[in-house]
Amino acid sequence: MPLIIPRRHRPSYASGYARSASQAKNPGLRKGLVGLWDMSLGATGNTLHDVARKNNGTLVNDPTWVPSPNGGALELDPDGVGDEHIVFADSTATHGTLFIRHRRTAAYHNAGFLGWFPTAGSDSRVFTTTDQRVFWRFYDTSDNSNQSNAHLTILNQWYNYCLVTTPGRYDWYIDGVLFYTDTPDAGTFRPWYMKYLGWDGASSGQTYAGELETTSIWNRALLPSEIIELNDPHALTALRDSVLPFVSGAPPAGTANPLVMGATNLMAGKLAV
């Protein structure tokens, strides 16, 4: 049965968390961090910068930059046409944790893909349906496509998803609460890698209609206490700021800093030129 996590059971941004990024700083969250895409930083042209490992994404069909609670978000497929999405180049497979902060703004597509994460011989997908559910689908030998889990979302409400994978277990946390767990068949679980956000890579009209804020990947399973910590927006800011000094590389031509996108006009809903 679809399940809505009542608001009273969700951590609140208004209370119980640090009052600043400095108070929320936890160097331990950098351990195993292999990708961090902070939408509040904007982009350089159509390049969405990875502030952790430089696995940059490419913005396809000009997604729109919009205001959000934590400084800015990327809006995908607001009109139901099914075209805006993000493509990533690095195909390094990993077990670990995927964190996505998102909100659905419409329910245009049945099987609208929030994310597609291929593996060798199978895939892992997070997709939405027109009745406002979200599924995490993965494969093993007994049931081929396991999608018995269903999160019934509320449109225009922000959610923090943490998908945690180890060789013998799947755990799905929503807003810091363990929502679903499964044990795949022995020997069938495969590591995945980040490939698409907002699209499945093949099918037209199967894009995600909504907004994305921070997305991160670790090559380890985060502890439940760390997952709860990620619900604090100050912790996400502190994590981003802690890795920025360690990122090297010459900035693109005409850009003062490839990681702090001062040229992005979020309020105007477009990239400044």
Domains parsed from the chain with CATH numbers: 32-249+257-271 (2.60.120.200)
103: nearest Cα among 142, 68, 146: 68
Instruction: Please state the separation of Cα 237 from the chain's center in Å.
Output: 15
Q: Amino acid identity, residue 14?
A: A
Ramachandran category for residue 254: left, alpha or beta (phi over 0 → left; psi -120 to 50 → alpha): left
pTM (two decimals): 0.79
Query: One digit per residue, pLDDT tens: the chain, 273 residues?
Result: 444 444 444 443 334 444 455 555 677 888 888 889 988 888 888 999 888 877 889 999 889 899 988 888 999 988 878 788 899 877 677 778 999 999 999 888 777 788 887 765 567 788 888 888 888 877 655 555 556 578 889 999 999 999 988 877 888 999 999 998 887 766 566 677 788 888 877 766 678 889 999 999 898 899 999 999 998 888 888 888 887 765 544 333 333 333 333 333 222 333 222
